[in-house]
Structure 1
Amino acid sequence: MMNEPERSIPSLKKRIYQQIADRDTVSKAELLSSSRLTSSTLTRLLEDLLAEGLIETTGLGPSSGGRRPILYKINRDYGYIFGLEISRLTSTLGLFDLQMNPKSLVRWRMDESITPARLVEYAARLMRSFLKDHRIGPDRILGLGIGAVGPLDRKNGVILDPLYFPAKGWAQAPICRMFEEETGFRALLENGANTALIGEQWSIRHEKIQHALYVHAGMSLRSAMMSYGQIVHGTVDMEGSIGQMIIQTDGPRLYAAGNYGALEALASVQALEKQARTQAKMGNSPLAEKYRVSPEQLSFEVLVQALAADEPAVREWFRESAVYFGVGLANLINVFHPEIVFLGGALINSNPMYYETATEIARKNTYYYPAYEPRFSKGELKEDAVVTGAALIVRDQLEL
């Protein structure tokens, strides 16, 4: 086996660090087997990582006939990372160590007052509070990862022209520059759907999943795909394109720029709210009177309450929405053929019936079923998937 050229040592060091980070503990023999490096090169890399405090030894592993092997793990307190989710309904800030253990997490609702400037101000204040609570100096922070609603200019850290934010000012928001100026921490931007998938795949990393799909059903529909362990990025950043998948050619459209019969017009929080308000205005639904709100105040929260109370009409609206969502999900599965499909968002979590109906419809409309059947999951991290994945993108770009 040929020695690796000296100039590739930094990239090799990063690769070995990543392999250790992706496991709880690992021996040198396991690293040799997976890295295909010479023993001398690997020894030098491990010595460098130990000397720099990036990894540490953690006792001895079981013997396979000879000496018990030294086990390595990453030093979780080498530095810390902030992760931030920016979405239309709620946003979340987390402080993580390098093993992705959350030290603090705060979630808040987004409303008409939370402009980009207000969000940056509020989140920066929380960051300072987290650091004070845990007695961590700002110099220990390795960066801020942001998982946000798209479309985005990821390279320049800009939220471009998102729909449905309660507050104004989110178009062309240079969110990374704003945070860097306010906090002094390097900021990286990625789609929230992508960071959710990164987070969920990391949470079951021992399963070595290579091909995965994530679909978020909430105020809008968002999706992300992973192939051979890497997020699939298209030519343009449009995570919400799944919402414009045409399900019913002569169907409604949600807003003036959308497709007729698009999935989001049939299966989204806004579609359900629109349906409930229309029925109330036409006098076909007693919900507004029963819950003492005007037809325009029939929000998703009210509909979830009515669903929990087993209101027949509301249950049927949610069931129809789940059927349409399942058809759209089957279309994605038939194109991509993932091993696992993660589902998240307000609709998925509104009631067990929604998830069960949607996955049943998707399963039955999957080509090659039952010979091929992807696994469906609400994920391990659930509502913390986006913020965890956002922190992971910072860790994965550590300069070693």
Structure 2
Amino acid sequence: MLNEKKQRIDAEKRIPSPKAKELFHDIRRKQEIGKNDLLVSSGLTVSTLTRVLEELVGIGIISESGLGASTGGRRPILYQVKADYGYAFGLDISRVISRLVLLDLAGNKLDSTEWRMTEETTPVCFMQQVTVQVEEWMDKHRISFEQVIGMGVGAVGPLNREAGVIEEPEWFAAPGWNHVPAVQMLEDRLGFPVILDNGANTALIAESWANRTKNFRHMLYVHAGTGLRLGMMTDNKLIHGAVDMEGSFGQMIIQADGLPYRTAQGNYGALDTYASVYAIEREVNSRLRLGRSSVLHQMLRPGEPAKFPDIMKALKAMDSMVTEIVTQAATYFGIGLANLLNILNPEKVILGGPLMTDSNLFFYTATQTAIRKTYHYPKYQVIFSKGSYGEEAIAIGAAQLMLSQLTV
């Protein structure tokens, strides 16, 4: 194992000076930045700025990249992050598909892979798959142990971030996913730092990074798939509740006398019951059993239940029954989204997950419903997006979360 070869190197110890950490944070958020701009943004004196920049260059974490345009005097020195100084892995632990990515220090994606989570994918089996892949990539990209900043993990909740434990997630195909000490399991195998947060939060970190030049102060990320997952950010800082709140959006009650939740722990009339992959599969199969006409009858064997991929194929074939059900689910989702907008007033909302990436109809119907039911519309205008990273957002954001530890 990797930890048998090298001693753990904590990310926060790589840049010793607080001023250097602040300056590196500013440089990393720009592809390239001049010394004069750093002087203005940092508030440091010329001598202090020069000393701190020399410290960062000496560490090897930034480099001079040339000279900028003159504004009347000497041309300013430009600085950029040295991408090959370090690398971070980002792991997405989800119920159906999990992913691993590798980023360099500049945030460039160097590699990615995914695994389908089957009945055999227990935590021990999965962590071993991740370990093997990490070792292969380090050999492939000639990455030394000292260059690894660490691994960020974005996982299905609920979880305990401080303890690094995935607590009691629902609907994994394999047994054993309750009270999983994910951070300890990975650190024991890999030997470098691992940090855990919920997947909606890490996806939001990725999308915030993609929008870092646009200065959005308030952003939301909602993942619509097997369940509904929510992350919030204000002034580039994640909002963490007293408990992990990733799945709380799905428990929003939109019909008090409505359908029961799929497990005993949930609310009657919860949004998740009406606007998730589970909800769409349930409605489609109910109507198929009632004999409703659909192309799915030709696609499936007698008695075989329709799964989400089958339903999406029928939707693309413009099947009227499936279109009706997806539109209804999206309308419910839009109502829940409008409730969030009316309470939180974000500037931008990123909508991810298979319901968004696989269906333009769902995205359009949900966002139009939300807009119509927003209290201050049209004065209050929110930007909706499917995001920049698609289904890799959780993993990429997890790696970015690890890279951000350099400036903690």
Shorter-chain TM-score bucket reads: over 0.9
CA shift digits 1:372-394 (9 cap, x unpaired):
11100111112121111111111
User: Following superposition of structure 1 onto structure 2, how do residues 256-275 of structure 1 map, counting pairs within 5 Å?
Assistant: 256-275=264-283
CA shift digits 1:180-202 (9 cap, x unpaired):
11111211001100000000010
- 1:178 aligned counterpart, secondary structure: helix
1:38 corresponding residue in structure 2: 45
1:327 aligns with 2:335: yes
2:320 corresponding residue in structure 1: 312
- 2:69 aligned counterpart, secondary structure: coil
Structure 1 residue 296 displacement after superposition = 5.4
User: For the residues of structure 2 that align with 1:181 and 1:262, how far apart are their CA atoms?
Assistant: 39
User: For the residues of structure 1 that align with 2:21 and 2:303, how far apart are their CA atoms?
Assistant: 57
Distance 1:288 1:65, change over 3 A: closer
2:150 to 136, 143, 168: 143
User: Following superposition of structure 1 onto structure 2, how do residues 13-28 of structure 1 map, counting pairs within 5 Å?
Assistant: 13-28=20-35
AA matched with 2:78: L
2:378 corresponding residue in structure 1: 370
Structure 1 residue 287 displacement after superposition = 5.6
1:196 aligns with 2:212: no
User: For the residues of structure 2 that align with 1:352 and 1:286, how far apart are their CA atoms?
Assistant: 20
CA shift digits 1:33-71 (9 cap, x unpaired):
111122222111111001110110000111100011000
1:279 corresponding residue in structure 2: 287
2:9 corresponding residue in structure 1: none
CA contact 1:288–1:294 (8 Å) conserved in 2: no
1:356 corresponding residue in structure 2: 364
- 2:253 aligned counterpart, secondary structure: coil
CA shift digits 1:308-350 (9 cap, x unpaired):
1111010000000110101101110111111100000011122
Which segment is superposed worse, 296-305 or 309-318?
296-305
If the length of structure 1 is used for normalisation, what is the TM-score? 0.95
2:116 corresponding residue in structure 1: 109
Which segment is superposed worse, 47-56 or 270-279?
270-279
User: For the residues of structure 2 that align with 1:51 and 1:135, how far apart are their CA atoms?
Assistant: 22
Number of matched residues? Answer: 393
1:4 corresponding residue in structure 2: none
Structure 1 residue 279 displacement after superposition = 2.1
- 2:402 aligned counterpart, secondary structure: helix
Which segment is superposed worse, 275-284 or 211-220?
275-284
2:55 corresponding residue in structure 1: 48
2:4 corresponding residue in structure 1: none
2:236 corresponding residue in structure 1: 229
CA contact 1:254–1:271 (8 Å) conserved in 2: no
Structure 1 residue 136 displacement after superposition = 1.5
Structure 1 residue 395 displacement after superposition = 1.1
2:125 corresponding residue in structure 1: 118
Structure 1 residue 139 displacement after superposition = 2.6
CA shift digits 1:256-306 (9 cap, x unpaired):
321111100000000111112222333345566322235553111111111
Structure 1 gaps of 5+ residues are 1-7
User: Following superposition of structure 1 onto structure 2, how do residues 158-307 of structure 1 map, counting pairs within 5 Å?
Assistant: 158-255=165-262, 256-284=264-292, 286=294, 289-295=297-303, 297-307=305-315
AA matched with 2:311: L
CA contact 2:357–2:390 (8 Å) conserved in 1: no
User: For the residues of structure 1 that align with 2:237 and 2:54, how far apart are their CA atoms?
Assistant: 29
Structure 2 gaps of 5+ residues are 1-14
Structure 1 residue 166 displacement after superposition = 1.1
Give the alignment's Cα RMSD to 1 decimal.
1.5
